[in-house]
A and B are shown apart, each in its own frame.
Chain A
């Protein structure tokens, strides 16, 4: 059972364009939704995160949009650059109990920005 579903699997965007990655979750106990960026040979690095009490969070060129009723959230990368080419993972966790706070990852989106 996949608790966090991510799409698309791969994405090609022209330099300067907008990259959009979508995720859906099932567990309503989730209350923390981070996005991670992973380059080849490296571990995932936290990019941006949101909590369900807000509908949007922006940090530089990266924006998370969150729809609690639909149990969906998405990452928008504005003015995409070749250096953004990486694999992106959406994730979710529950903070209500320390014993349940593990991070659940989506399967990832391989993003390629054309120069």
Chain B
């Protein structure tokens, strides 16, 4: 049983560019949450998708947007990249509501130069 799959694993982008990160949830899960983890810090909640809609959003600018597809997979898009966007981006999947049973992927390491 595959867990949460994220792609790519590493990415280098230039300031001002746009990036798309992808996440496939664990089998049986229908909710996807995205987190940003800066070096040496705890994960920070970006937003959560359920039934193809953004259900919750953390304190992140509109440059961060997302999408959930009918097969529950999800994308995170970041526009106009800043150096400060360099971080590990984690996807977590779960079933339905509640923080129970969050399963995290190994993340995408984004470096902005």
List the interface of chain A (C-beta within 8 A of B): 6, 32, 34, 36, 41-46, 89, 91, 93, 95, 98-108
Contact = CB atoms under 8 A, between A and B. Distances in A.
Interface residues of B, number: 28
B106 A103 contact: no
A32 B99 contact: yes
Interface string B27-67: 00000010100001111110010100001101000000000
Contact of A105 (B43, B50, B100): B43
Closest 9 CB pairs of A and B: A43-B104, A105-B42, A98-B97, A93-B99, A103-B99, A102-B45, A107-B42, A95-B98, A105-B43
Contacts of A103: 33, 45, 92, 99, 102
Secondary structure call for the A interface: mixed
Contact of A107 (B35, B41, B55, B104): B41
A89 B45 CA distance: 14
A44 to B, nearest CB: 5
Nearest to A33: B99
A42 B88 CA distance: 10
Per DSSP, chain B at the interface is: loop
A108 B35 CA distance: 15
B93 to A, nearest CB: 11
Given A89-B42, A103-B45, A108-B41, A43 B98 contact: no
A85 B104 CA distance: 19
B55 A104 contact: no
A44 B99 contact: no
A101 B104 contact: no
Contacts of B21: none
